[in-house]
């Protein structure tokens, strides 16, 4: 069933990609670091280079954490919709197959937050 | 000759006379055209006269009781205001819980009044209509008394100034707003299951314990008084909630699966809404009543457990989320407060870190989880704040499509992993924070695809005042969004330490205590 209603009912999708002025949403989470309450939401142009997200954007978001300076991107493990995934940092978000409202997360082995508390 | 006097009517007869025969049997229009809403949900009713309110309250008695309560309430509020009762609270930190209440809960009371008025019109049975009509008046009264009780605080403290404007805009207020709108746009039977049963019967004690007991513990007689005044109505509302469930189940066996699905949905949605009450209890009351976990065990696991044992004879089972809530009671208050702490530059109230004694209290109350998962984070933040590096998150959070809460809840089997759930629907992805919210979405995706999610709306450019140009040089999006919210940055938000509220409270208390 899609909805129980008194007459035909179509929900208006408020977050369709056309509403974001050329951007698409990307959700990013850092595993084992609940210091940051939740994954974050970003509006990025699909042509943005994936490496620029790591180099230009994420430091402003995650840099406050003492583990951030220890991140070794060569060791990082990526997941897209929970499944293992390998991004190409030199390709764009679109070329990496990232669509509007995709969720990706990265795990940085050996780094488990403040005093190993996964914070 | 003795006069023959007729015996006075008994309560039951009076109730019958006052609530029966008020219904409307149409003559030139079909009943279904006049009452279009009470069948489409699939609930089958064969005999509306089987509806009996256990309280058997009539309008005549209702006016008398409520007028008496109003007189007492306003006498106490007047005394509280004239005697500067606001200085009698334990600490101005407590007042931030009131700011949440007046912005998050009070508008829900008004919406509930509208919804009960609507439902009272839509049921074709007279008993149900009278019950809904009286509850509609109660909800309006609660809305008014809450505003009157808290308006005195508005003269002295920040953050109370514009709750109605904020209700439709501020990010965290989309949580209660979406909960209410989901209920009020459902059919009439689902609405009553959501508010009268799942919220008022199953969960309302968890709101009253922290808020009203907490208010009393912390010296707030104004809030305590409106709480007591409202609570006597709540008892009647709870019986309405139970009555509607029993009425539906006794009318037709086909109603059982529908009712069970609603109970599962609305218990879960209500529990998500109560996350904010969990943090009020564990973090916002300077004098604490009991931990969230203790209240959960007492008022949910024991009391609600007994209720569902009673309902088992109808085939109703405990809500599907039962096992998960036993796990989450250990975590939800800490996770919620940590979120508000880091978004304290965008909230309409102050946040702070617990002091040493409060950390120890939390360790004692949560011996299996607090020191392992939460204490190190709070202590680190305190060290950073002491160095002038108070942590504020500047990036917007990912939200759950259904409850609209940032995705901070952890996996049922692992408190170190965020719980991510997603659904592909019509070529788009929809993310939810839990199995409970995913289940709600998957049952009625068309309803939830249209969620007004504050983060997405900000990124679409819909949360700036008219005339604001986001492409202008030096544009500050957070400042523009706060302007749109009517939150004054640096006055209504940021840390409690150093706030105007903290400073004023200390000065006024000193003035009240001596001659200088």
Q: How many helices (H) and strands (E) does chain B have?
A: 25, 4
CB atoms within 10 A of CB B489: 15
Please answer yes or no on whether A38 and B398 come within 8 Å at the CB atom. Answer: yes
Could you tell me what percent of chain A has a pLDDT over 90?
96
Q: Is A83 on the interface with B (CB under 8 A)?
A: no
Give chain B's largest Cα–Cα span: 99
8 Å CB contact between B452 and B178: yes
Q: Is A97 on the interface with B (CB under 8 A)?
A: no
Q: B83, exposed or middle or buried, with CB in 10 Å at 0-12, 13-18, 19+? A: exposed
pLDDT tops 90 at residue B25: no
CA-CA distance, B173 to B267, in Å (whole number)?
Answer: 19
pLDDT tops 90 at residue B62: no
pLDDT tops 70 at residue A1: no
pLDDT tops 70 at residue B131: yes
Q: B4, exposed or middle or buried, with CB in 10 Å at 0-12, 13-18, 19+? A: exposed
Please answer yes or no on whether A114 and B416 come within 8 Å at the CB atom. Answer: no
Compute the CA torsion angle A51, A53, A59, A60 (nearest 10 deg): 160
8 Å CB contact between A37 and B338: yes
Q: Which of B376, B420, B431 sits opposite A117 (nearest CB)?
A: B376
Highest mean pLDDT: which range of A34-38, B13-17, B223-227? A34-38
Categorize the per-residue pLDDT at B347 as very low, low, confident or very high, splitting at 50, 70 and 90. Answer: very high
* pLDDT recorded at residue B401: 98
* pLDDT recorded at residue B239: 85
Q: Which of residues 136-195 of B touch A (CB under 8 A)?
A: 187
Q: Which of B36, B380, B406 sits opposite A38 (nearest CB)?
A: B406
* pLDDT recorded at residue B49: 87
Compute the CA torsion angle B223, B226, B229, B234 (nearest 10 deg): -90
Top-confidence residue, B498 or B236: B498
The pLDDT tens digits of the residues spanning B430-486 come to 999 999 999 999 999 999 999 999 999 999 999 999 999 999 999 999 999 999 999
Could you tell me which of B427, B455, B451 has the C-alpha nearest to residue B440? Answer: B451
pLDDT tops 80 at residue B19: no
Categorize the per-residue pLDDT at B516 as very low, low, confident or very high, splitting at 50, 70 and 90. Answer: low
CA-CA distance, B335 to B135, in Å (whole number)?
Answer: 35
The pLDDT tens digits of the residues spanning B396-446 come to 999 999 999 999 999 999 999 999 999 999 999 999 999 999 999 999 999
pLDDT tops 90 at residue B236: no
Retrieve residue B293's tokens. Answer: 């976990």
SS3 of B294, please?
helix
Categorize the per-residue pLDDT at B130 as very low, low, confident or very high, splitting at 50, 70 and 90. Answer: confident
* pLDDT recorded at residue A80: 98
Q: Which of residues 6-45 of A touch B (CB under 8 A)?
A: 6, 9-16, 19-21, 23, 25, 27, 29, 31-32, 34-43
Q: Which of residues 290-329 of B touch A (CB under 8 A)?
A: none
Q: Which of residues 336-395 of B touch A (CB under 8 A)?
A: 338-339, 342-343, 372-377, 380, 389, 391, 393-395
| Residue B3 Cα to chain centre, angstroms | 57
Q: Is B404 on the interface with A (CB under 8 A)?
A: no
Please answer yes or no on whether A4 and B444 come within 8 Å at the CB atom. Answer: yes
Q: Which of B339, B444, B460 sits opposite A37 (nearest CB)?
A: B339
Reported in sequence order, the residue ranges of B223-303 that DSSP labels E, i.e. its strands, are: none
Per-residue b or e along A21-48, where b marks 16 or more CB atoms closer than 10 Å to that residue's CB: eebbbbbbbbbbbbbbbbbbbbbbebeb
Retrieve residue B256's tokens. Answer: 């059982």
CA-CA distance, B39 to B61, in Å (whole number)?
Answer: 32
pLDDT tops 90 at residue B6: no
CA-CA distance, A64 to A73, in Å (whole number)?
Answer: 17
In A, minimum Cα distance to B455 occurs at: A41
Residues 6+ apart with CB under 8 A from A33: A62, A65, A67, A111, A113, A118, A119
8 Å CB contact between B434 and B324: yes
Give me chain A's average pLDDT, please: 96
* pLDDT recorded at residue B1: 66
Find the mean pLDDT for residues B223-243.
Answer: 87
pLDDT tops 60 at residue A79: yes
* pLDDT recorded at residue B210: 74
8 Å CB contact between B189 and B197: no
* pLDDT recorded at residue A2: 77
Retrieve residue A19's tokens. Answer: 């509403």
* pLDDT recorded at residue A111: 98
* pLDDT recorded at residue B464: 97
Determine the Cα angle at A44 with ends B408 and B433, to 5°: 20
| Residue B166 Cα to chain centre, angstroms | 16
Q: Pairing mode, if any, of strands A102-107 and A24-30?
A: parallel
Residues of chain B contacting A117 with CB distance shorter than 8 Å: 372-377
* pLDDT recorded at residue B10: 80
Q: Worst-scoring range by mean pLDDT, B5-9, B168-172, B245-249? A: B5-9
Give chain A's largest Cα–Cα span: 57
Does the CA dihedral B432-B437-B439-B441 come out positive or negative?
A: negative
CA-CA distance, A74 to A85, in Å (whole number)?
Answer: 14
CA-CA distance, A62 to A34, in Å (whole number)?
Answer: 11
Give me chain B's average pLDDT, please: 93
* pLDDT recorded at residue B21: 74
Q: Which of residues 41-80 of A touch B (CB under 8 A)?
A: 41-43, 60-61, 64
Please answer yes or no on whether B398 and A37 come within 8 Å at the CB atom. Answer: no
């Amino acid at each position: 069933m899609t909805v129980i209603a008194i007459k035909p009912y179509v929900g208006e999708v408020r977050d369709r990609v056309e509403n974001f002025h050329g951007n698409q949403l990307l959700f990013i989470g850092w595993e084992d670091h609940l210091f940051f309450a939740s994954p974050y939401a970003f509006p990025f142009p699909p042509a943005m280079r994936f490496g620029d997200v790591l180099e230009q954007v994420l430091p402003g978001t995650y840099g406050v954490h003492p583990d951030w300076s220890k991140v070794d991107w060569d060791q990082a493990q990526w997941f897209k919709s929970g499944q293992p995934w390998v991004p190409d940092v030199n390709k764009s978000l679109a070329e990496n197959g990232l669509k509007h409202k995709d969720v990706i997360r990265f795990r940085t082995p050996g780094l488990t937050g403040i005093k190993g508390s996964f914070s | 000759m003795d006069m023959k006097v007729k015996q006075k009517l008994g309560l039951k007869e009076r109730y019958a006379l006052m609530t029966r025969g008020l219904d409307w049997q149409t003559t030139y229009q079909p009943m279904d055209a006049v009452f279009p809403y009470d069948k489409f949900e699939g609930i089958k009713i064969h005999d509306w006269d089987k509806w009996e309110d256990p309280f058997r309250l009539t309008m005549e008695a209702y006016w008398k009781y409520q007028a008496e309560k109003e007189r007492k309430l306003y006498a106490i509020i007047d005394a509280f205001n004239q005697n500067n009762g606001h200085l009698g609270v334990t600490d101005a930190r407590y007042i931030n819980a009131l700011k949440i209440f007046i912005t998050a809960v009070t508008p829900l009371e008004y919406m509930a009044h509208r919804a009960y008025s609507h439902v009272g019109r839509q049921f074709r049975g007279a008993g149900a209509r009278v019950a809904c009509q009286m509850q509609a008046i109660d909800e309006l009264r609660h809305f008014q008394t809450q505003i009157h009780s808290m308006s005195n605080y508005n003269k002295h403290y920040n953050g109370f100034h514009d709750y109605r404007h904020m209700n439709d805009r501020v990010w965290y207020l989309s949580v209660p707003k979406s909960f209410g709108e989901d209920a009020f746009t459902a059919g009439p039977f689902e609405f009553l299951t959501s508010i009268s049963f799942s919220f008022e019967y199953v969960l309302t004690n968890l709101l009253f314990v922290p808020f009203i007991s907490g208010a009393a513990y912390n010296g707030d007689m104004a809030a305590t008084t409106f709480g007591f005044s409202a609570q006597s109505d709540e008892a009647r509302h709870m019986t309405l909630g139970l009555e509607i469930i029993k009425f539906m189940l006794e009318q037709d066996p086909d109603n059982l699966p529908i009712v069970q699905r609603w109970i599962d949905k609305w218990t879960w949605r209500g529990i998500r809404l109560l996350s904010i009450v969990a943090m009020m209890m564990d973090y916002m009351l300077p004098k604490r009543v009991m931990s969230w976990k203790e209240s959960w065990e007492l008022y949910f696991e024991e009391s609600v457990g007994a209720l569902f044992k009673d309902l088992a004879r109808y085939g109703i089972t405990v809500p599907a989320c039962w096992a998960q809530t036993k796990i989450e009671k250990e975590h939800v208050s800490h996770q919620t407060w940590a979120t508000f702490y880091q978004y304290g530059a965008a909230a309409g109230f102050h946040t702070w870190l617990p002091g040493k004694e409060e950390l120890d209290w939390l360790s004692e109350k949560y011996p299996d989880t607090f020191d392992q998962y939460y204490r190190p984070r709070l202590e680190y933040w305190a060290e950073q704040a002491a160095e002038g590096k108070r942590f504020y998150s500047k990036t917007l959070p990912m939200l759950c499509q259904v409850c609209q809460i940032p995705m901070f809840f952890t996996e049922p089997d692992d408190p170190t992993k965020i719980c991510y759930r997603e659904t592909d629907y019509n070529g788009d992805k929809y993310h939810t924070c839990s199995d409970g919210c995913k289940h709600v979405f998957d049952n009625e995706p068309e309803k939830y695809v249209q969620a007004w999610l504050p983060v997405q709306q900000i990124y679409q450019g819909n949360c700036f005042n008219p005339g604001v140009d986001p492409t202008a040089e030096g544009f500050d999006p957070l400042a523009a969004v706060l302007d749109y919210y009517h939150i004054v940055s640096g006055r209504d938000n940021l840390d409690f330490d150093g706030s105007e509220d903290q400073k004023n409270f200390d000065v006024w208390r000193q003035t009240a205590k001596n001659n200088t």
